[in-house]
Amino acid sequence: MSEACTEIDARLEAVANAAALLGSRLPRVRDPGSGLWMAHGMDTLLRNLSSGCGALDVALGEGLDALTVGRRAMDLKYSNIGDYAREELNLNRIPLLRRALREKRISYEKARIIARHAEGEEVQDWVERAETMTCVELRRAMQDKDEAQMCARGTFRVWMPVSVAEVVKAAFRAARAAAKRWLSAGECLVTLAEHFVETWRAQLKQANTLQRRIRARDRHFCQVPGCSRAAVHAHHIKPRSQGGSDDPSNLISLCAAHHLYGIHGGRMRVTGTAPDKLDWEFGLRRSSVAAA
């Protein structure tokens, strides 16, 4: 155990050093009129810091298992980094993931996603697929797999914070009390869903607008690469003021931040044809977009 502690101390020191660089050694060079940081230097330091934190998570998770701390004793609602590594990643339970991380075949976040959704022989297949996918693509593929399996079984599993789970359990108790009999979890969900629909029926009658159809086509996700936020706007790729049409091929789903601050804020640009023939440009200056 002393060797494990030494390794953790070393990784802690590496993380601390990387963090110190952010505050002391990164030169605050500003671009006149824009106040931008040196993006490349910041990116390098943040990557080093993230890598160190991921290694620290793994080391602490292994240390907790070495101490044989039980799940109940460690039920801290993911408030410490070691519990997160041990419970979420399950690296000691899945050697394939631990090896893939050490070989740097996949990132820490990809390993966490796979650990949540894959079991047994399918882990290796997902590790190989994850090497050529972004985290967002991997997460959505895993969700599709889970949904297909749940539909086939007629049951479902959901991950939620402990605080949300407590609310769900309280709702189940209320449903059983209202029915004055024992209800299964499935019956409770049906009862809650029916109550929700009845309460909000008037608001559920919404027009089948073009904006809604575009968001449905894009599965209600923002289509900016790497973004996993819900889409709330449908953006005209070629503005109507410049002759753009309302054809679905000229509309793309975006979250509010990327639409308002990214596209219309002049920081990014999208061209091409929706939904899958798009070109994205990032890190633009407002003046360059205005000139375009």
Kindly report, residue by residue over 26-40, the tens digit of the pLDDT: 444 444 444 444 555
Return the DSSP state at 271: E
**Contact (Cβ atoms closer than 8 angstroms) between residue 173 and residue 185:** no
Least confident of 28-42, 124-138, 152-166: 28-42
Most confident of 1-15, 84-98, 189-203: 189-203
Contact partners, residue 263, CB within 8 Å, separation at least 6: 235, 254, 269, 270
Contact partners, residue 172, CB within 8 Å, separation at least 6: 183, 185, 188
80, pLDDT greater than 70: no
SS3 content of the chain, % helix, strand, coil (to 5): 60, 10, 35
* Average pLDDT score, the chain: 75
Residue 62 pLDDT grade (very low, low, confident, very high; cuts 50, 70, 90): low
108-117 vs 135-153: helix crossing angle, rounded to 10: 0
Most confident of 102-111, 243-252, 283-292: 243-252
- Model confidence pTM above 0.85: no
> Which is higher by pLDDT, 52 or 142?
142
Query: Which pLDDT score, from 0 to 100, does residue 65 have?
Result: 52
What 3-state class would DSSP assign to 235? strand
223: its two tokens? 């289509």
Cα 241 from Cα 232, distance rounded (Å): 22
Most confident of 45-54, 67-76, 212-221: 212-221
202: its two tokens? 């008037």
> Which is higher by pLDDT, 116 or 292?
116
Query: Which pLDDT score, from 0 to 100, does residue 57 have?
Result: 60
Query: Which pLDDT score, from 0 to 100, does residue 162 have?
Result: 84
Beta strands in the chain (DSSP E): 233-236, 251-254, 268-273, 277-282
